[in-house]
Amino acid sequence: MENPDLIVALQTAGLAIALAACAGLRAWLPLLLAGLLARFDLLQLGPTFGFLSDARTLAVLALATVLEIAGDKVPALDHALDGISTVLRPAAGTLLAASVLGSVSDPLTAWVLGAAVGAPASLVPHAAKTGLRLASTAFTAGLANPVVSVLEDLATLLLFALAVLVPLLIAALLLVTATLVLRRLLRRRAVQPA
């Protein structure tokens, strides 16, 4: 017999992890999309996170999204933004995770759980993105970085859509990816001479 509360909790946790992963690619776009969906009652956020769907917040998030996406297309500026985003993206991931977890728990628990799952979930795609950017810069002198940036924009939109539609699948894929990356890093460390 299925436990409906357990299913809801797993779906909510999967959504929290998947939305936080979106923030690893773009900090502001997932927040804007979550706020828009909440404004039209298509995504349930915790009661203390209603500010995300406020018109003024959406305007600020829209401006920040445009600035982030446009700035990321400028080869010299993209690396500076990426450095700043090392702090910003886990914070956005935490906020996204906490906002959906707030619909099933009290605000303090939502923030604690949001930080526990949101920050790490956003760092996995952020680390992969950073590695891809460094490789793109090294091999193309930064000329391919705007194209890579557009691909990241599209990946963020696709990941967000999948996160909302099938959160458990995205969370599982993120977990598998993190495990494979960690395993590879540990193998590299074991092979390197001391």
pTM value is 0.82
Q: How many residues does the chain have?
A: 194
Model confidence band, residue 30 (pLDDT cutoffs 50, 70, 90): very high
Alpha-carbon span 181 to 130, nearest angstrom: 14
Model confidence band, residue 193 (pLDDT cutoffs 50, 70, 90): low
Let me know: does 34 contact 19? Beta carbons within 8 Å.
yes
The 3 state secondary structure assigned to 58-97 is HHHHHHHHHHHHHHCCCHHHHHHHHHHHHHHHHHHHHHHH
- The pLDDT tens digits of the residues spanning 5-17 come to 777 777 888 899 9
In percent, the amount of the chain with pLDDT more than 70 equals 96
Listed in sequence order, the residues at least 6 apart from 20 whose beta carbon sits closer than 8 Å to its beta carbon are: 93, 94, 96, 97, 114, 117, 118, 119, 121, 122
